[in-house]
Amino acid sequence: MASETLEALPDFHDLLRAPNTAVLSTVLPDGSLQGSPVWYWFDGVLVHVSTLVGRQKYRNLRRDPRLALTVFDPAQPLRYIEIRGTAELHDDPDGEMRDRIAVKHGFPDGTAFDPPGAKRVIATIIPTRIRTSSRD
């Protein structure tokens, strides 16, 4: 199924709101792909990922904003949502998005995940194509 908005897919909002781990695929400088396990935040409209400046996924997205994010249902692994699109990068100096995501996963906040002086950015995913499968 192809779609351009996540709002149009309410049957998959449970996957996006649950404390699941997704795979974020970004483009390396040589054109090959890098997959990274990530936690994320779904605000009902868009998906956001928090990362540290200097991580490979950040460098990849800064150079080439194309990406794919795949979330699958741990109870039904063939049920998934794949969001292809581009990232808009925004500074997150107070780690607000990092903390939202950490709380979603049962932590009091996300400070334990960052080394001293870490700089956070938010990658907001702008969908261009959304694919889903609900095969049992």
Residue-range domain boundaries for the chain: 10-134
Distance (Å, rounded) from C-alpha 2 to C-alpha 69? 15
CA atoms within 13 A on the CB side of 77: 0
pLDDT at 18: 97
Q: How does residue 2 score in pLDDT terms, banded at 50, 70 and 90?
A: very low
| Cβ-count burial 83-111 (b if 16+ within 10 Å, e if not) | bbbebeeeebeebebbbbbbebeeeeebe
Q: What architecture is the 10-134 domain classified under in CATH?
A: Roll (2.30)
pLDDT at 131: 94
Residues in CB range of 7: below 8 A, 6 or more apart: 44, 45
pLDDT at 91: 97
Contact 71, 15 (CB under 8 A): yes
What pTM did the predictor assign? 0.93
**Predicted confidence (pLDDT) per residue in 21-31, tens digit:** 999 999 999 99
Q: 108, 63, 55, 62: which is closest to 89 by C-alpha?
A: 62
**Predicted confidence (pLDDT) per residue in 57-80, tens digit:** 999 999 999 999 999 999 998 999
Q: How does residue 125 score in pLDDT terms, banded at 50, 70 and 90?
A: very high
**Predicted confidence (pLDDT) per residue in 35-57, tens digit:** 999 999 999 999 999 999 999 99
pLDDT at 136: 57
pLDDT at 134: 85
Over residues 107-115, the mean pLDDT reads 94
- Record the tokens describing residue 22, joined without a space: 């997704």
